[in-house]
A and B are shown apart, each in its own frame.
Chain A
Amino acid sequence: MPSNRASSSAAAAAGSADSSTSRRNSKRPKYSKFTQQELPACKPILTPGWVILTFLVVSVIFIPLGVVSLFASQDVVEIVDRYDNDCIPAPARANKVAYIQGAADKTCNRTIVVPKKMKQPIYVYYELENFYQNHRRYVKSRSDAQLRSVKDENQIDACKPEDDVNGKPIVPCGLIAWSLFNDTYVLSKNNQTLNVSKKGIAWKSDREHKFGKNVFPKNFQMGNITGGGKLIPDVPLSEQEDLIVWMRTAALPTFRKLYGKIETDLQENDTIHVILKNNYNTYSFDGKKKLVLSTTSWLGGKNDFLGIAYLTVGGICFFLALAFTIMYLVKPRRLGDPTYLSWNRVPGGGR
């Protein structure tokens, strides 16, 4: 009986505060849209119209973007000169490694013809192929702390095996610094030296914050084996921009690194002579070396990939939009038709 029940619990409530009645009432949940899972919501469904429109819009955006990107890439003038093979004198080609490790003069003359007018700034890169700067052993072999300040010069734990010489720490330590690229290029146009500016080729942030102004090379390349290039002992690391550039390790086995900038325009059919010192050993692992002169666009260097990819994706989207339209017209299907529900056709429920 309700009355019976109510009064019995009322009697109980009189006695104690936490009797069942009062506790139960306080348990009544508070109403809010969130607690009832009834927040106003938009419930999109994939109607043919929307889907086709989406694909159309995407293709309409992507195809022009692709064209623009492609044009940007095409605008870039790029001269690539592979020299690793040619710069070895023919007799030494049988054993390139021996040549490169030998003491012979490694000067090499190259001639480059500018195919198109190049506007300044023109970037001079060296490109290495099959060089694994991203190798686990290599990429970790550095000490950022040591590069930043003098007082941390003993932090060389990560630098093995190029950490110290006779117990004295190497600055900059590690494999990366040790294997510094040391080919040099001297460019001249019409017998006039073409000034290749080496200032500002490294990231500003690196120069200012990652490489100390008072950190000088110490014991560098003094070990039993000499790796790559040497550093000028009395120039602080923050000004050794070649090192800074080199120490920004590349993620891919083929990469370009900035060598310098040419701040004059080059005209079509200009002939550029390059006197290069072919010092760096890529021959033991069949790595290629290239000298690259390139202008840039808003998208960066010459790279058709983005443009082509955009055109492809845009094209596919357009094709899909077309295909879906045709499918829709040929085989219209009413959305949400209850006759598709199997339990409305087959008796006996879902199983």
Chain B
Amino acid sequence: MGSAHSLPAEMRALAEKTGFTSDQIEHLHRRFKQLSRDQLTIRKENFDSIPDLEFNPIRSKIVHAFFDKRNLRQESDGLADEIDFEDFLTIMSYFRPIETSMDEEQLERFRRDKLKFLFHMYDSDRDGKITLHEYRNVVEELLSGNPHLEKEAARSIADGAMMEAASICVGQMGPDQVYEGITFEDFLKMWQGIDIETKMHVRFLNMEPIGHCY
């Protein structure tokens, strides 16, 4: 609690920027320090210390997302080596629940931001398109928790999903048309039916800090 009161101005700035309440920021800050071992920045290795994350099949994608500069709202591209607390908050803010006070436009932007985050997780080569290859990668990773499953199955699933994507986004393709990959616009289209804004959130409010996570 002590650190919160020592930097009220900085805190307020952060709260404004990310939309978190000061309580939440405090919680997250404590967690941040826990992860970074009291350093100012977090590096990739720090994520290794989270035991539960180890079993996550898409662990690398999640960790990647933290260092992806596109998610950090920076103009530049590529991967950051380390992130500071503000970046950490920025990433976390993608997972804020909607607020009732939001108007239509804000909601829409909110939704877009969330989807953009997900899109970046799929689009690992940053070309703005989820190609079949990338899609396969994702599905393979998703199913990697299951040793009995051959890669082939994952592939055919990815292929099927890609076909679906093509049929949703392009509809009837012309004979000369090539579906190169899912662009962000297509991605938006495909998520139309899913209420991402009510689903993509983590409860930051009543977080109970965990004493020992190492």
Same complex for A and B? Answer: no
Chain A residues within 8 Å of B, Cβ to Cβ: none
Chain B residues within 8 Å of A, Cβ to Cβ: none
